[in-house]
Every structure is written in structure tokens, then in C-alpha cells.
A and B are shown apart, each in its own frame.
Chain A
Amino acid sequence: DSGVTQTPKHLITATGQRVTLRCSPRSGDLSVYWYQQSLDQGLQFLIQYYNGEERAKGNILERFSAQQFPDLHSELNLSSLELGDSALYFCASSVYMSTEAFFGQGTRLTVV
């Protein structure tokens, strides 16, 4: 158990809908990362927050947004969902920005 909690574990929704994925980082970790992993692709970095502030953006679509709250948990919002958004979404946390990250078990999103 990495100490990073992601909910829900599975999510099935229809095209055009909006969903929210939640992540609770390890106790004491200030940095939260979001990644997308599709079957034919590796881990794609989406966005990083450090102590409530956005610090880095990767290949995140405009339909996606995220935030980190004062209690350090984070949410990833995905809207106007398309079939191609079906993937595993991972959250990871680390103490600082430049240390190893610990991953949650992921949320498997299926868009039908």
C-alpha cells in the first residue's frame, strides 16, 4: 500500500458527460501529480500541483482541469467525455517536487 488513495476505482459513463476523480496523497506529501495511461501508450503526465499551486502542465486537454485543496487532496475533472478518454488515471504524490513519487491504484474510466 503506497498510502495514496484514489476514488472511485472504476467509473463507467457516457460520452459527453463530466466526471470527477479524487486523490488523497500520502500523509506529509505536498506534491500531487496526475497521469493518464492508455493501453497503447505509456504514462502520460497531465498536471502537477505543489502545496495548492499548479506547478507543471503536460499533455492535459482543455476539457480536463484539476485543483489541489488546502487539505492537499486533489481532484481531476474530465468533461465532454469522448470514447478516447477511456484509460487508467493515476494520481501520485511526493514530499517535494523533485523526489520520487508514490502512486495510487488508479481509477479505471470507461466511456461508452
Chain B
Amino acid sequence: EDQVTQSPEALRLQEGESSSLNCSYTVSGLRGLFWYRQDPGKGPEFLFTLYSAGEEKEKERLKATLTKKESFLHITAPKPEDSATYLCAVQDSGGYQKVTFGIGTKLQVIP
């Protein structure tokens, strides 16, 4: 069964204090790994898709990287508006291409 584990569960940062979120995954075959951002009471907002080990993608203060067993979401000089829950999901390459989400990391950036 596919599994996604995110750590830490919660993270509190000062504005400008860079850090990384971790997503460890177990999947028989990886079709893609996705990062989403979710604000309270809202639907997840798509951030990145990574397909193969070594791939990196950037968007503003966020950078996602992928290895064969985990992905990192690096947040550089975060601002209060980056506060949200960040979700990681994997899609397997099997016939049904099922998507499995992690519980998420709740990030709070303090001014």
C-alpha cells in the first residue's frame, strides 16, 4: 500500500527564517509527486509536480526537490502570507494511478 509521511506536523518560523518540510513516501512505482498548499476551510491549491529523482522546481520563495524516497519543500525567507498547511501527495504508476496524500505540515510564519 502506498504511504506518505510528512514531517514535522507543525512548524513555527520567524519571518525570514528559512526551513524545509519533508515528505517521505513508499510507492510501488512513482508516476508523480505533488505539493499543495491548503488554507483553513479552503481547497488545496496546486504548487508543484515532480516526476523523477533529481528534479527541482521553484516558485517565488518555494523550491521542491525529489529523491527516490523523499521530497523536500524548501521555504526561503518566508513571509506571514506563507502560513498554511502544505500537503504532499504521490501518484502510483499502476493501472489506476491512485493518489495518496500525507497529513500535511502546518506552517506558521510569525512577523
- A residues at B contact (CB < 8 Å): 2, 4, 33, 35, 41-45, 48, 55-58, 88, 90, 92, 97-106, 108
List residues of B (43-102) whose CB comes within 8 Å of A's CBs: 43-46, 49, 87, 89, 91, 96-102
Using C-beta atoms within 8 Å of the partner chain, give the interface range for chain B.
20 to 34
Query: Quick check: B46 and A100 within 8 Å, CB to CB?
Result: yes
Q: Which of A4, A56, A90, A104 contacts B96 (CB 8 A)?
A: A56
**What is the chain A residue whose CB lies nearest that of B100?**
A45
Query: Quick check: B103 and A42 within 8 Å, CB to CB?
Result: yes
Told that A56-B96, A58-B98, A106-B42 touch, could you supply 12 new A-B pairs with CB distance under 8 A? A42-B104, A43-B89, A44-B101, A45-B99, A55-B97, A57-B96, A90-B44, A98-B32, A101-B34, A101-B99, A102-B46, A105-B42
Known: A98-B32, A103-B45, A106-B42. A33 touches B102 (CB 8 A): no
Residue from A4, A41, A98 whose CB has the most chain B CB atoms within 10 Å: A98
Query: Quick check: B43 and A90 within 8 Å, CB to CB?
Result: yes
Contacts of B89 in A (CB 8 A): 43
Contacts of A43 in B (CB 8 A): 44, 87, 89, 101
Known: A58-B98, A100-B34. A41 touches B103 (CB 8 A): yes
Bound Cα distance A104, B100 (Å):
18
Bound Cα distance A55, B46 (Å):
22
**What is the chain B residue whose CB lies nearest that of A4?**
B43
